[in-house]
Structure 1
Amino acid sequence: MMKRSLLSSCAAILLGAAPALAQEKVTGVKADPPVGGEVIFRLGAAADDTETPRIEHYARLVDRVASPEVHGTDRLAINAAMPLESIRAPTIEGDREEPLAQAEGIDETYPRIGGDVIVRLGYDGAYDAETPRTESHDLFGVMIASPEIHLTDRFAINADIRIETVRPPTADRYFEDHGLFVRSLYAEYAVGDLLSLQAGKFTPTFAFASMVTPGMYGNNYNKEIELIERIGFGAEYTFDTGASGAHTLSANTFFEDTSILSDSLGAQRGQRQLADGGASNTESFESFTVALEGREITWLPSFTYRLAYVHEAAGEGDVADENGLLVAAMQSFQLGDGQSLTLIGEVAPLWNFQGTADNIIYTSAGLVYRAAPWTAILSGTSRWRELATGGTFDDYAVQTSVEYDFGQGRSLAIAHEFSRDRNVNSQRIGFRFNQVLDFD
């Protein structure tokens, strides 16, 4: 009943608010892994075992990071004069964020529809796997549609709709186990130039490294702390302190999606149930995040940071509420001749992870070298888990990846990964061919 009431209320608000917003002006934002143009470091969203043409977004990110005027990707103010950009396209993963509104001075007609579609062909070959890990060949396709319905220059409805594999391979697999599902569906409204509000199914702000690090495999562990497919409300406000930079404070309250949107068509994921338990699976707004992000600091050019806290209420049968902290930073250097080097780091300890009695620490690092049209990535994550039953899992994943941008939205990536999962080793190699179709 609560879910029906919530969805009905959201629909009524959206339909009722649209006319009143017609005369208002600003730039919108898109939530879920964004990165701010002239300022909105708004990452957000996602993670499955799929990947996103991060390279394309990363390239734009580095270009802005290298710019003498702006740090380059991520969140800052929501200002009409500031085009918003996306750092990520989750997972090599998926979400691409584009400006909700163009720079000031450019006339736009409303309502209008924009967005993009990502089409991907991928292959993963797992080998040298210790029992009980599985060696397999997996050939698959992915399609990610990110429509944006701009009702006014302040108000928009955004979505992320995907077709991709919804379960891991257990043997050789060729274009099997694909499902269609809605990863996000939310409304966003800009109140003035510095405040933005979001409501619906989205990704609350917390994770950082998995949202900004390109590459095919390097984010398989750290994306586990992305708060994807949550239903709730969010707000962010940007403080422009001049030479001290622009800093955005965000807050979100949410619960895990248990509506019909948590299932999929085709291969079924299965609708999430309250009885399944798990952190934030409560159908009530007891879980929340608070984050502070900053950049454009005069004495730290091309530097971005994020500090965040998450509290996820225990679900049915869970041991305790989950609490976690995150400290992350990114620094880019312009090397000349179209070359750049970006360093990414993140540490995120979580207590009572997923509502269990276990504690876990994620430590991520990335090194990205770009010499257009080539990008080389070395990145990885350590995942140390202290088990309540005694003992530990000392897991990690390290990837090396090379990506080539053909232009016109086409790119090709080849990568290798060595991983240790629950103290069991394996390796894999694969490729991704991506095509991005932009409808803005």
Structure 2
Amino acid sequence: MTKLAPIAGALVLLSASPALAWEYGPFAAEFSVEIENDTVVDSSDPAIEFSDTYATIEAAITMALGASSSLNLALTFEPIIDATGDRVFEDHGLYAEEFFFAHDFGAGEIILGKFNPAFGIAWDEAPGIFGADFAEDYQLTEQIGGAVLIPFAIGASENVVSVALFNADRSVLSKSLGRRRGPGSLLDGGVGNTSGPDSITITMAGELGATTYSAGVQNLARGAGDTHDQRGAVVGATHTYDLGRPVELLAEMAYFTDFAGTSTAAKYGSVGLAAPFGPVTVSGVYASRKLDGARIDHLATVTGEMELATNVFASLGYRYGREGADKTHTIGTVIAYEF
């Protein structure tokens, strides 16, 4: 899934997606719509051989408060719970993924409220329908707190350091309309689910020519029932090669100690490649996931995407996953309206 960016200058603190844009006075908004079907066509576990058709609609709305400040709201409409059988446009809910105040004070920027702290890029940048599936394990979303972003230049390289303090959102903003969820509770446990902003991420990101990079560390405070804080580090990069056609390469590695508040270490790796062939952009991703005491999980995907009409894109993808003892083969299709 793609995510919209209320702060265009935040440089991977929040991810950006092509979308239908709209402006009126102090208000600006971006919208995107995706209709996706995922069908597990074969699995060593027959219970998960089913089809799921669903929508993802995202809106990022910004209201300017003078020249340097703004209020930012990111709304998401999508399934609130995972499918357990064949499903067609069921279990959808609307919720506020982000709602924060931002102020640019010249030498940097601060944000306060509910936001997505920066950590890694593969969860957003890995190409294809299924390319981000493993990296989404360590994506940070829906946190309450604040962040400071300090841009700086090194030669021709534009960079930004972000420091965020936060805890999991348990406010009224964690509720949803339609299929209901939340609010959460401290008793739910989970790293980062604490009574105050006890978790931190520090990320440095930037770009130099055709290369972008991101490197970060985190400490997610233990929640109820956890035995340890989760500590982690991630480094990733993308590069575009001009080989007569633009060929985009992505690579990222992440390592965690005491993953999910346990005494287990976890290692993730993702590599991706995307290149156009005529009207079709073909991409592939290989990713791995290793938790101490468990076998390595493998993910391999391939996707073809083409523009059917102005701002209308269609994708067809294949996913092979070996996760634990299960092997699955999945076919996915997406119709997306973007700008």
- Quote the residue 1:198 is aligned against: 111
Give the whole-Å Cα distance in 2 for the aligned partners of 1:263 and 1:41.
28
Contact preservation (8 Å) 1:35, 1:42 = no
- Quote the residue 2:11 is aligned against: 41
Give the whole-Å Cα distance in 2 for the aligned partners of 1:117 and 1:31.
8
Q: 2:315 aligns with which of 403, 409, 413?
A: 413
The one-letter code of the counterpart of 1:408 is T
- Quote the residue 1:355 is aligned against: 261
Provide, for residues 179-212 of structure 1, a one-character-per-residue CA deviation record: whole Å limited to 9, x for no partner: 11111111211111x4111111111111211222
- Quote the residue 1:78 is aligned against: none
Deviation at 1:214, TM superposition (A): 2.7
Name stretches of at least 5 consecutive residues in structure 2 with no aligned partner: none
Aligned identity (percent) is 28
Alignment of 1:11-410 (within 5 A): 32=5, 41-44=11-14, 86=16, 88=17, 112-131=26-45, 134-192=48-106, 194-243=107-156, 245-296=157-208, 301-336=209-244, 339-370=245-276, 373-386=279-292, 391-406=293-308, 408-410=310-312
Give the whole-Å Cα distance in 1 for the aligned partners of 2:206 and 2:55.
36
Secondary structure of 2:296's counterpart equals: strand
Deviation at 1:43, TM superposition (A): 4.0
Larger strand fraction of residues: 2
Contact preservation (8 Å) 2:113, 2:146 = yes
Deviation at 1:246, TM superposition (A): 1.9
The one-letter code of the counterpart of 1:211 is D
Give the whole-Å Cα distance in 1 for the aligned partners of 2:236 and 2:122.
7
Give the whole-Å Cα distance in 1 for the aligned partners of 2:34 and 2:300.
23
Confirm whether residue 428 of structure 1 aligns to residue 330 of structure 2: yes
Give the whole-Å Cα distance in 2 for the aligned partners of 1:98 and 1:197.
24
The one-letter code of the counterpart of 2:234 is L
Tell me the C-alpha RMSD between the 2 structures: 2.4
The one-letter code of the counterpart of 2:141 is I
Secondary structure of 2:90's counterpart equals: coil
Give the whole-Å Cα distance in 2 for the aligned partners of 1:374 and 1:235.
40
Larger helix fraction of residues: 1
Give the structure-1-normalised TM-score: 0.72
Contact preservation (8 Å) 1:332, 1:342 = yes
Deviation at 1:417, TM superposition (A): 0.3
Secondary structure of 1:392's counterpart equals: coil
Deviation at 1:150, TM superposition (A): 1.9
Contact preservation (8 Å) 2:252, 2:271 = yes
Contact preservation (8 Å) 1:322, 1:350 = yes
Change in CA separation of 1:32 and 1:281 when aligned onto 2, cut-off 3 Å? farther
Give the whole-Å Cα distance in 1 for the aligned partners of 2:20 and 2:190.
29
Change in CA separation of 1:31 and 1:138 when aligned onto 2, cut-off 3 Å? closer
Deviation at 1:344, TM superposition (A): 0.5
Deviation at 1:331, TM superposition (A): 1.1
Deviation at 1:98, TM superposition (A): 7.8
Provide, for residues 38-57 of structure 1, a one-character-per-residue CA deviation record: whole Å limited to 9, x for no partner: xx523436xxxxxxxxxxxx
Deviation at 1:328, TM superposition (A): 0.9
Give the whole-Å Cα distance in 2 for the aligned partners of 1:304 and 1:258.
34
Contact preservation (8 Å) 1:34, 1:42 = no
Give the whole-Å Cα distance in 2 for the aligned partners of 1:222 and 1:133.
25
Change in CA separation of 1:392 and 1:134 when aligned onto 2, cut-off 3 Å? same
Change in CA separation of 1:420 and 1:98 when aligned onto 2, cut-off 3 Å? farther
Give the whole-Å Cα distance in 2 for the aligned partners of 1:358 and 1:35.
37
Contact preservation (8 Å) 1:133, 1:426 = no
Deviation at 1:142, TM superposition (A): 2.2
The one-letter code of the counterpart of 2:261 is G
Name stretches of at least 5 consecutive residues in structure 1 with no aligned partner: 1-29, 46-85, 90-95, 100-107
